[in-house]
Structure formats: C-alpha cells, structure tokens
Amino acid sequence: MKIGVLSETYPGERRVALIPALTASYAKLGYEVLVQAGAGAGAYHPDEAYSSAGARVLPTREAVLHEASVVLAVRTAGANPNFEADLPHVREGQVWIGMMEPLYRPQGVAQLAARGATAFAMELIPRITRAQSMDALSSMATVAGYKAVLLAAHLAPSMFPLLMSAAGTVSPARVFVIGAGVAGLQAMATAKRLGAAVAGYDVRPATREQVESVGAKFIEIPLEVAQAETAGGYARALEEETLRRQQDLLGEHLVQHEVVITTAAVPGKRAPVLIPQRVVEAMTPGSVIVDLAAEWGGNCELTQPGETIQHNGVTIMGAVNLPATAPIDASMLYSRNLYHLMAHLHKVGMLPEPNPAIEDEIARETLTAHGGKIVHPRVVQSVG
C-alpha cells in the first residue's frame, strides 16, 4: 500500500496532512509514503525532510495520485472548492481520508462515490473515549480558539489586561465568548491568560462547570430549551421562536462587552444567527466581534466570511480557517489525528481493503462512500 500526501489547494491553506516525523510510523504499518514536492512548504517542512525520513518525493500531483492507494488530505471533497481539479485522477478503489464537510457540503463525497473511491471523513469521528486521539475537529478547534483571541486583541482599540501606572489604571477588557465547545473554552482560557475579564455562554447548561474551570464567568440566560444537545455532545438547532428569544437575551449581555468571540455551530446546518444587526448597532463603538462560525454562515447577521468589516463603529471579522494560520502546530496535531485513525482502520481490518461490514463504531461512523455509493445515512440525508 502506498500513501499519497498532496499539496493543499484550498485558498490560504498552509497545513499538511503528514509531517516528516510520522513517516516512520506509517512504514511500521507497511505503507510507503509518497509526497508531492512542496506539500509541506507552508508548514515549514521541506522536501528534504520527507526524503530523509524515508518518504519518496514525487514532482507532480498527478504522479502521486497515479500511484497512491490511500490519499491523505487536510481539506478535500466538499471542504475544498478546488477539489474538482483532482476528480479526473481519482481511481476506483482508491481511499481518500480528510476533512470533507460531508454534512454541510456533501456534493464532494458524492463525487468521490461516483468515481468509485472510498472516503473517510475526519469530521465524523465519533466523540467516544477510544477515538479521542483521532478527533481532528477538537484539535483544530483548539488552535482556532487560541488564534481568535489573538486576532481580537490585535483588532481591539484597547488592551486586554488590568494595568496600573502613575498615569492611571487601565481596566481589563471585557470579553464574551459564545459557545463552550473546544474552541470556545480555549478562547476563554486564552483571553483569561491575557488578563481580560471573561464571560462565557452556551445553550447547554451542563457546560457551566467547564466554563468556570477555565476562569470565565458563566452567563445564565433564562431560556427553556428541550434537548439542547445531540447524543454526540454537539449543540442542537433551536426552534425559530426560541432563537429570537435567545438573540434578545444575549443582546443584553453583548452590549456590555468590548470583545465578542462566537463559536456556535450545528453540524450539517447553517450556523445560528445569535447577533442580529440591531444588537451590533447597540454595541459600544470600538467593539470587536470575531466570528468563528463565518464559514457556515456566521453567528453575526453582518458577518462576511473571510472579510473584516466595520458597521456603526463595530469591527466584525469573519474568521475562516484559522488553524492554517498556525501551520506548524496545526499540522502536527492533524497529522497525529490522521495517523491514529489509519492505525485503527488497519488494526480492525478496514484497510488495506475497506469492508463496510466490519462492526466497528469508528470505522462505521467515518466511512462515507464505498463501492460507488454514499454509505453513511446522515450524508445520504444531507444529499437529499
């Protein structure tokens, strides 16, 4: 079996799916590693590092795709708008593993299925104890939450920490983080370390303890929500009337903070709009909103993905793909997530020849396409 690692073609993507240090680990599993020339450049891994580690560096993308039995990617299928350029080179029986946006943009998985390829989507790793080392969403959310705070601090016209000087005392910035998932908790912890007064909110009341554990104040909103989260621990989409009530109640707190970081997302659906235009216009001029849900429509009504705009004196950043802005550490974390998944699939007999009949929760939940069709029920439903 040959593993192929390609240069990423998503705009601004600097991560790589395999760092040189893990080449030997794949060799122990019996795989030869093929790397497209320049694939690791964005993460500061030169071709020579891959060659020294035992990988074979090939000059072109087509050469890698021609030989590889398994293709490892950061963003592919629906997660990469440039994916169609690879489609003519996808072979029947070839295995693709990476971020694919299978629930939000399932067309990419459908295209892989149509070519007869087998696809495993990293976003569908089940949140169970034995799959924690494979959980790429959590790894990348950690990076995104950290970077979001640094960007907010850069955009904010005031400083984060409490400072005392002969000229007077600088009050700490008031930071409000919406969403207490991995990204939100990391954002709260980072803002706290920078000296800000941090508050956090999540529709799931059970997150109070987690919010307080990182030093933030949990904002409690009197909102009756039945089944606020799914079995996998993700937030569930709210009914329209409940969402409007949530907007109004959140707005009362948002206008009291200078920095707002939003991380609320619902798998496979548009991100909920939690900050309508009327709330933005009530915020203090100079306030900053960093919207980590921008790629899925945004938590702020005015968010423009990939753009930083101003409205009524409020700066709104539509943050997209923040893990790519920390490519060294993000690549290391993601590469390890991929390796642990590959090692597991190899162990349970899903590789080198994929077998959908294997009764393993991790394999079953991540397998999205095989044998010319989409095989994951949730992805089938998303395709419609």
305 has pLDDT over 60: yes
* Parallel/antiparallel/unpaired status of strands 373-374 and 367-370: antiparallel
* Parallel/antiparallel/unpaired status of strands 308-311 and 314-318: antiparallel
The total of other beta-carbon atoms located within 10 Å of residue 271's CB is 24
378 has pLDDT over 90: yes
Class of domain 141-325: alpha beta
Give 142-182 pLDDT, tens digit per residue: 999 999 999 999 999 999 999 999 999 999 999 999 999 99
Determine if residue 177 is left, alpha or beta; phi over 0 gives left, psi from -120 to 50 gives alpha, anything else beta.
Answer: beta
Determine if residue 10 is left, alpha or beta; phi over 0 gives left, psi from -120 to 50 gives alpha, anything else beta.
Answer: beta
* Residues 216/152/170/218 CA torsion (nearest 10 deg): -20
Question: What's the chain's average pLDDT?
Answer: 94
Q: Please report where in the chains the tokens 């964005």 appear, as a residue.
A: 42
Domain ranges, ordered by start, for the chain: 2-135+327-383, 141-325
pLDDT category at 221 given cuts 50, 70, 90 is confident
pLDDT category at 236 given cuts 50, 70, 90 is low
Same fold, 2-135+327-383 and 141-325: yes
Report the b/e string of 216-249 with b at 16+ CB within 10 A.
bebbebebebeebbeeeeebbebeeeeeebbbeb
Catalytic positions, written as ranges:
127, 132, 135, 138, 234
Give the integer Cα–Cα distance in Å for 360 and 103. 21
As a whole number, mean pLDDT of residues 327-356 equals 95
Structure tokens of 170?
């600088």
Q: What pLDDT is stored for residue 233 in this prediction?
A: 52
Residue 58: closest CA among 98, 118, 3, 117: 3
Q: Is 379 exposed, middle or buried (0-12, 13-18, 19+ CB in 10 A)?
A: buried
- Collapsing DSSP to helix, strand or coil, 368 comes out as strand
Whether 381 contacts 111, CB under 8 Å:
no
Give 35-86 pLDDT, tens digit per residue: 999 999 999 999 999 999 999 999 999 999 999 999 999 999 999 999 999 9
**How far from 260 is each of 63, 187, 273, 300, CA to CA, in Å?**
46, 10, 14, 10
- Collapsing DSSP to helix, strand or coil, 2 comes out as strand
Give the integer Cα–Cα distance in Å for 170 and 194. 14
Q: Please report where in the chains the tokens 């629906």 appear, as a residue.
A: 78
The model carries a pTM of 0.92
Give 243-288 pLDDT, tens digit per residue: 888 888 899 999 999 999 999 998 888 999 999 999 999 999 999 9
> Which residues have C-beta within 8 Å of that of residue 341, sequence separation ≥ 6?
97, 120, 122, 125, 134, 362, 366
Structure tokens of 349?
């007999």
Count how many residues are written for the chain. Answer: 384
Alpha helices in 54-156 (DSSP H): 61-67, 107-114, 136-155
Q: Is 211 exposed, middle or buried (0-12, 13-18, 19+ CB in 10 A)?
A: buried
Give the integer Cα–Cα distance in Å for 384 and 369. 15
Whether 176 contacts 299, CB under 8 Å:
no
Cα angle 102, 108, 110 (rounded to 5 degrees) comes to: 90
Q: Does domain 2-135+327-383 have CATH number 3.30.300.130?
A: no
> Which residues have C-beta within 8 Å of that of residue 381, sequence separation ≥ 6?
none
226 has pLDDT over 80: no
